[in-house]
Structure 1
Amino acid sequence: MNSRITHFFLLLICLILSSCFRHGDNTDGLPVGKRIQLQNVEDLYQFLTYDDNRYPLVSLHRGGPTSGYPENAIETFSYNASLQPVIIECDVRLSKDSALVLMHDNTLNRTTTGRGPVNASTLSELKKLRLLDNNKKITPYQIPTLEEALSWGKGKVIFTLDIKNNVPYEAVIHAIRKQRAESSVVIITYSANQAAKVHSIAGDLMISASINTVNDLARLNEKDIPDNRLLAFVGTREADPELTKMLHDHGIMCILGTLGNLDKQADKKGIQVYAGFIDRGADILSTDRPTEAGRALNFYIKKRGITSKFIQ
């Protein structure tokens, strides 16, 4: 009898520990179940303002496509967000009937079952297509509209929106307002003039600006864009330490594009390379390898005891 009781309690303890493990970090070292939870734009400003205890993040280039999950698809966003807190970089284009849809290329050829320019098809026609994954396999997933993505992502993720040529900022901002998604969005810009235009239309929205030199920041300051409305995309090579320090002194977080050569470097040398980028001043890694980068960042976060009230 005593042996049976002992066996029962040992089994019960194992089940409890197993349950705790499943609801914490998974075997890949990713913080399963955690989300970026922001209630308003003030939360967004606070979360994305640099301080010494900032929470390093992964940004999913084109939404983080992988086998079975195509780029710029809500299902892909959801899959990645189930693994770790994420920023989702995605691309906005116009259909023939002026609907805002998520699509990187100006044609449908590479990523869908369709052919021809995106803006030659109506939304109804686009919705009949299916998205292809990176292996050119047809998935069951459709091209999403921007509003569908924003509706899904509120309270879960942060979007950085790459607005393609001929897409009016006003239309994108209208969609953001309609979905009340201001606390979930950063608008990507490529020049001080673009950043100034976005800020003039919607002064409350955050902007990702290309900042490669001290002069780039000076031009943005001349446009009267507050520091707490800015993220700095510093390029696809590690930034000069002096530039990084200056940006951090302004409270501006740095996005490093590891997609391309830096991702290849990490693939060759090991995922600890990603933690090195954070150690040397990057705050957000825009990557094509979100699982590997996330694993490295999660280890970095746990080792340093970094927490955020906005990550739960």
Structure 2
Amino acid sequence: MYLKNIRAVAIIVSAILLYCTNGYAQTTKADSLIKQLHQPLDKHIMVAAHRGDWRDAPENSLLAFKYAMAIGVDIIELDLNKTKDGVVVIMHDPTIDRTTDGKGSPGDYTLAELKKFHLKNGLGRVTVNTIPTLQEVMELIKGKVLVNLDKSYPYYNEAYEVLKATGTLNQAIFKTTEPYETVRKQYPAIIDSITFMAVIDLDKPGAKQSIENYQRHIKPVAFELNFGKDTSVILKSNQFINRNGARIWINSLWASLNAGHDDDTAVDLGNTKGSWDWIIAHGATIIQTDRPRELLQYLRKRNLHD
């Protein structure tokens, strides 16, 4: 009887250990980031790398995304386009002229034809890197990091199918400048099934009403606030955004998006008070940057990023 009890206990303990081990194995870094993204009152700053780490690799390349993940960003930003044969690819510009050794629009080529071109680095030199597909990117980052789908509005349905097929739907943030009614009308079948962020131009009239309208109907996970002037009342009183369940996203990359409180002010001029400090003081808990390495170092010193 004693031996039977010992065996029974051993079996139970083994089962518990196996369950716990499997549970932990299924929890990824992306799971933690998804949880963090949906905590609007969390004061830790999430960092989004604009087009990946484009200073060390061609923008919007798999290598740029690998480098960005290696330095510890939370989100990579990329831009969507589509080939002649309907494949969603990563390309910022309407044409491939600036970023590759080819000419024309992605829509002029099949994927096989497009893959024959090579991406240029920041100095304009042609590299071995090719234009990635959205599927290739999502397979690369699955379980590791979140993704911000810029220029994605025309391709929501196609992107949705790729994300579902790769099991990465919860890692992706869809975004647009369009008002709620337009998005609801164009994408009624998926709008309630995606993680969504509205882009708001604070320099335009009706910005607050647009935010409130979105929060009344679908509660976006975040609002990307862009502004050429830093005089908007929303910048001084935006706590209602967090209270209603959304994070505030501010871009530090270009002065035109943040009234001059930008990355270059922080890094090249050494003035974080007038740049990153200012952005954080005005409610941002997600910052999209062209200087991810430097921003992460700065945030970690302030205990604002793990």
Using structure 2 for the length normalisation, give the TM-score.
0.78
1-structure distance, mates of 2:194, 2:223: 15
SS in 1 for 2:170: helix
1:236–1:81: structure 2 CA closer, same or farther, 3 Å change rule? farther
Report if aligned partners of 1:275, 1:300 keep a CA contact under 8 Å in 2.
no
1:219 aligns with: 213
- 1:105 match: 93
Q: Does 1:123 align with 2:125?
A: no
Contact in 2 for aligned 1:57/1:297 (Cα 8 Å): no
Partner residue, 2:264: 264
The change in CA–CA distance for 1:283 and 1:46 in structure 2 (over 3 A counts) is closer
- SS class of match (1:133): coil
Question: Counterpart of 2:75 in 1: which secondary structure?
Answer: strand
Give yes or no for contact 1:186–1:206 (8 Å, CA) kept in 2: yes
Q: What is the match of residue 178 of structure 1?
A: 165
Q: d(CA) in 1 for partners of 2:89 and 2:290?
A: 21
Q: CA deviation digits over 1:219-245, x for unaligned, max 9? A: 2135x20x2x42100114556344421
Change (3 A) 1:243 1:89: farther
Say whether the 8 Å CA contact 1:275–1:296 is kept in structure 2. Answer: no
CA contact (8 A) 2:248 2:285 kept: yes
Q: Per chain length, whose mean CA-contact separation is higher, i.e. which structure has more relative contact order (CA < 8 Å, sep 6+)?
A: 1
CA drift of 1:57 comes to 1.6
Residue 56 of structure 1 is matched in structure 2 by 45
Alignment-derived partner of residue 21 in structure 1:
none
What is the alpha-carbon distance in structure 2 between the residues aligned to residue 285 and residue 183 of structure 1?
20
Say which SS state the counterpart of residue 115 (structure 1) adopts. Answer: coil
How far 1:119 sits from its partner (Å)?
Answer: 0.7
Identity among equivalent positions (%) equals: 25
Supply the distance in 2 between the matched residues of 1:297 and 1:46 (Cα, whole angstroms).
Answer: 16
Q: Is the 8 A contact 1:62 1:88 kept in 2?
A: yes
Deviation at 1:270, TM superposition (A): 3.1
Using a 3 Å threshold, how does the CA distance of structure 1 residues 46 and 297 change in structure 2: closer, same or farther? closer
Any conservation in 1 of the 2:195–2:221 contact (CA below 8 Å)? yes
Q: For residues 112 and 157 of structure 1, do their structure 2 counterparts lie closer, same or farther at Cα, with a shift above 3 Å needed?
A: same
Structure 2: tracts of 5 or more residues without a match: 1-26, 256-261
Verify the 8 A CA contact 2:263 2:290 in the aligned structure 1: yes
- Number of aligned residues: 262
Map residues 242-281 of structure 1 onto 2, 5 A cutoff. Answer: 242-261=236-255, 262-266=262-266, 267-271=268-272, 273-281=275-283
Residue in structure 2 matched with residue 282 of structure 1 by the alignment = 284
Asked whether 1:230 is paired with 2:221, we answer yes
Give 1:168's aligned residue. 155
The alpha-carbon distance between structure 1 residues 295 and 278, as it changes in their structure 2 partners (threshold 3 A), is same
Q: Distance in 1 between matches of 2:106 and 2:277?
A: 38
Pairwise CA RMSD: 2.4
Shift in Å, 1:171: 1.0
- DSSP-derived class of the 1:38 partner: helix
Of the three residues 30, 35, 44, the one matched with 1:38 is: 30
Query: For the residues of structure 2 that align with 1:36 and 1:59, how far apart are their CA atoms?
Result: 18
8 Å Cα contact 2:225-2:249 kept in structure 1: yes
Contact residue 96 and residue 122 of structure 1 kept, 8 A: yes
- The alignment's TM-score, normalised by the length of structure 1, stands at 0.76
